[in-house]
């Protein structure tokens, strides 16, 4: 996926990074030792073969001159913190961080190395699987997501704090930031921004039911799941995590929008019962948050085609209809 946030570096800089991480004896010489991994949406990632043949992945954060959305500030630091939390407190398989450098001495952004995961990307291969295989993986994903949500935080919001004492304060700030990002770049979302704010204000009371901050992966789509031999072998891309309401997880999105698939297998694996009326209200707000981001981020990513924008605009009509609002 093409994006102006991808901070590509020349080979000599990549070699310097490898030398710092693994030592000069592992710096590759000539040949085909680096390949960009193209399916990511935010960071650039390289598959690299070290001199001894070991394969690793290098992720580099966006360059500082590229404006990102408010919630994406410090994303690589969030990912590194998430990997530590997950490894320490859960059984969910995640990559090991071989080396992280936040000094910005070799390039203008943070970066880190991790082992290459020799497995299939669930999002890429799922259409080649049988329905039973897809259900099994989605059930396993639901169980893994529940394990992630078992991590407790001290406050709602950023992993590093300070956070908010209530989920209502935290979420309304989060979605308010997204709307402000859109207005700052004059993104046409198909509705007056004040209409969206009215919807949020009318339904925010349901957020008070959430009283315990939990670790939320939030970006746990099938494209961030690595599979092999019938098992999930790694969950990748953790840069959007925060402490909040587990019902906000990506796997629940299809409850509101059929375009995201069937949530039944995920919910079975998670062990979540049918949603209550209040939970359904919260879930609609979370879907609204997601779709707004999907529309607005296309401007921040510098997309050259309108495929995602057009698709997300249609989904926003569906979400607003759930709140009884029609386009103006």
Q: What is the pLDDT of residues 25-74, one digit of tens each?
A: 999 987 899 999 877 668 889 999 999 999 999 999 998 888 999 999 99
Contact (Cβ atoms closer than 8 angstroms) between residue 183 and residue 191: no
pLDDT, tens digit (0-9, with 9 covering 90-100), for 118-144: 999 999 999 999 999 999 999 999 999
- How does pLDDT run across 143-159, given as a tens digit for each residue? 999 999 999 999 999 99
Q: Is 188 left (phi over 0), alpha (psi -120 to 50) or beta?
A: beta
Q: How confident is the model at residue 238 (pLDDT cuts 50, 70, 90)?
A: very high
Q: How far apart are CA 228 and CA 251, in angstroms?
A: 20
Given a cut of 70, whether residue 200 has pLDDT beyond it is yes
Query: Whole-angstrom distance between the N-terminal and C-terminal Cα of the chain?
Result: 32
Instruction: Tell me how far apart the alpha carbons of residues 154 and 149 are, in angstroms, rounded to a whole number.
Output: 14
> What is the pLDDT, as a whole number, of residue 40?
65
Domain ranges of the chain: 11-115, 120-322
Mean pLDDT computed over 75-84: 95
Options 3.40.1360.10, 3.90.1200.10, 3.30.420.10, 1.10.10.60; CATH of 120-322: 3.90.1200.10
Position 166 scores a pLDDT of: 98
The whole-number pLDDT of residue 163 equals: 94
Q: What is the pLDDT of residues 270-301, one digit of tens each?
A: 999 899 999 999 999 999 999 999 999 999 98
- The SS3 assignment for 296 reads helix
311 pLDDT tier (thresholds 50, 70, 90) = very high
Query: What are the pLDDT digits (tens) for 168-186?
Result: 999 999 999 999 999 999 9
DSSP state of 164: B
- 112 beta partners: 59, 100
b/e 147-162 (16+ beta carbons within 10 angstroms → b): bbbebebebbbbbeee
Whether CATH 3.40.1010.20 fits 11-115: no
Q: Is the pLDDT of residue 85 over 90?
A: yes
User: Helices 193-203 and 167-184 meet at what angle, rounded to 10?
Assistant: 170
Cα separations (Å) of 284 from 58, 194, 277?
Answer: 36, 18, 11
Q: What is the CA radius of gyration of the chain?
A: 20
pLDDT at residue 30, as a whole number: 79
- The pTM for the full model equals 0.94
More confident residue, 305 or 202: 202
């Amino acid at each position: 996926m093409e994006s102006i946030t991808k901070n590509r570096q020349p080979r000599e800089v990549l070699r310097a990074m490898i030398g710092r991480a693994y030592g000069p004896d592992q710096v590759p010489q000539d040949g085909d030792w680096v390949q960009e991994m193209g399916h990511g949406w935010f960071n650039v990632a390289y598959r690299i073969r070290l001199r001894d043949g070991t394969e690793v992945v290098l992720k580099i954060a966006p360059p500082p001159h590229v404006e990102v959305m408010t919630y994406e500030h410090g994303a690589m630091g969030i990912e590194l913190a998430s990997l530590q939390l997950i490894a320490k407190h859960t059984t969910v398989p995640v990559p090991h961080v071989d080396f992280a450098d936040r000094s910005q001495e070799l390039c203008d952004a943070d970066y880190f190395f991790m082992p290459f995961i020799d497995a299939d990307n669930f999002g890429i291969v799922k259409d080649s699987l049988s329905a039973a295989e897809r259900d099994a993986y989605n059930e396993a994903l639901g169980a893994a997501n529940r394990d992630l949500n078992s991590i407790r935080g001290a406050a709602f919001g950023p992993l590093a704090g300070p956070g908010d004492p209530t989920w209502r304060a935290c979420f309304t700030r989060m979605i308010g930031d997204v709307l402000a990002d859109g207005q700052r770049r004059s993104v046409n979302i198909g509705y007056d921004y004040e209409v969206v704010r009215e919807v949020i204000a009318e339904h925010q009371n349901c957020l008070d039911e959430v009283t315990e901050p939990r670790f939320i992966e939030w970006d746990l789509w099938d494209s961030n799941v690595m599979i092999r031999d019938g098992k999930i072998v790694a969950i990748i891309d953790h840069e959007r995590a925060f402490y909040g309401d587990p019902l906000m997880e990506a796997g629940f999105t299809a409850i509101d929008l059929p375009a995201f698939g069937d949530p039944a297998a995920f919910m079975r694996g998670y062990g979540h019962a049918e949603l209550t009326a209040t939970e359904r209200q919260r879930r609609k707000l979370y879907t609204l948050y997601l779709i707004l981001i999907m529309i607005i981020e296309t401007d921040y990513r510098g997309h050259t085609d309108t495929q995602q924008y057009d698709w997300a605009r249609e989904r926003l009509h569906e979400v607003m209809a759930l709140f009884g609002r029609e386009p103006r």
